[in-house]
Amino acid sequence: MTALSPLSVTLLVAVTVGLAAAILAWRERPEPGATWLAVLLAGQVWWATFLVFELEATTLPAKALWYDVQWVGVVAVPVGWLFFALAYTGYDRYVTPFSVALVSVLPAATVAVAAAGDPGNLLAADRVVRETTVGTFLDVVPGPLYYVIAGYTYLLGAVGSIPLIQLIRDDARPFRGQSAALLVGTAAPWAGSVAYISGAIPIPGLDPTPLVFGVSGVAYLLALSRFRLLTLAPAPRRRARQLVFEQLHDPVFVVGTEGLLVDLNESAAETFGVDRREAIGQPASAVVPKYDAVRELDESGNDKPRAIRVVGRDGQRPYEATIRDVVDDHDRTTARVITFHDVGAYLGQQQRL
């Protein structure tokens, strides 16, 4: 049995890491962006896996076959990235069956051309096997459709990166870490792709893009585990802020479906002496006053406010706690908004009467 080349071994490491990250992402469904992150990672795994087949093949027809098969993964990556970024950052209203179908037209056409054997040499004007010091590669002269789909890929990547770049300046440390890891994960293969298309790689036929999927996989694994990428997503914050809770005088907390604090307004921070930067990402039970009592209200299904006594900046005060679900454009609950209304003055007036 012929031993695998060092490049193939490197690719299989990237496949293993990417597959582990994809499984983690898939298990987090229906958290915002989980499905699309799994699609992105599955595309990377598909691409790298069949590149191994291409590298180990010895004839031009065999290498050309596995090259064409790779296009399924190639076009899945940018589509998955775009819709993951939109869903993860709270712009899920743009993630609809129509928008997905529209964005997928050109990628689907590209796969269809590859599956048909590239009639008219739209993807590859010429294909030649090159012997080099590091291996035998399929050197492809790009056709017109190749450049079109490459430009389209970069466009989707750039659009998906915009909302994530905005998070780097966020005052919440977990979101900064998440966005930085995600951008590293997508920038590494994009840089490899640009280097390949521009001719900066001195080895003919060597596309380094799948080789750096290992970097992407590690970055995504770090985001999923260390920064709790999907269990602590910023999507509910955007929904909650649409409720104008920053302008509310009442203390408001936003708790994700996994019980982690996603956001709180300035009133909550001041009233209960909470550091906003440190609190976000912590278990709600460690930050939200009388959280267990409030959660019982939610679990009972009773929408009526519950009066509880909480120690705030003015000492112990009576508050009415209410809970409201935050739903996305697909009617999925992504978080819960807990509001504390100070009823001390009202109760005092009632007692005087």
| Domains of the chain by residue range | 6-225, 235-352
Residue type, 276: R
Q: Rounded CA gap, 113 and 108, in Å? A: 9
Q: Which of 124, 127, 128 is nearest to 116 (CA)?
A: 124
Kindly give the parts of the chain with pLDDT less than 70: 1-2, 167-177, 225-248, 297-307, 311-315, 329, 344-353
Which helix (H) or strand (E) is 41 found in, with range? helix 34-56
Q: Are 325 and 306 in contact (CB under 8 A)?
A: no
β-bridge mates for residue 309, sequence order: 318
For residue 260, what is the DSSP state?
B
Query: Which 3 state secondary structure label does DSSP give 164?
Result: helix
How far apart, in Å, are the Cα atoms of 97 and each of 84, 149, 330?
14, 21, 11
Q: Are 171 and 96 in contact (CB under 8 A)?
A: no
Q: Which of 242, 265, 278, 231 is nearest to 338 (CA)?
A: 265
Q: What is the pTM of this model?
A: 0.69
Q: Are 246 and 337 in contact (CB under 8 A)?
A: no
pLDDT in tens, 273-296: 888 888 888 899 888 888 888 887
Q: Are 201 and 147 in contact (CB under 8 A)?
A: no
**CA neighbours within 13 Å on the CB side: how many for 31?**
22
| CATH match for 6-225 among 1.20.1070.10, 1.10.10.10, 3.40.640.10, 1.20.200.10 | 1.20.1070.10
Q: Which of 302, 257, 254, 292 is nearest to 274 (CA)?
A: 254
pLDDT in tens, 198-241: 878 888 878 888 888 877 777 777 777 666 666 665 655 655 55
The alpha carbon of 201 is separated from its chain's Cα centroid by a whole number of angstroms, namely 30
State the CATH architecture for 235-352.
2-Layer Sandwich (3.30)
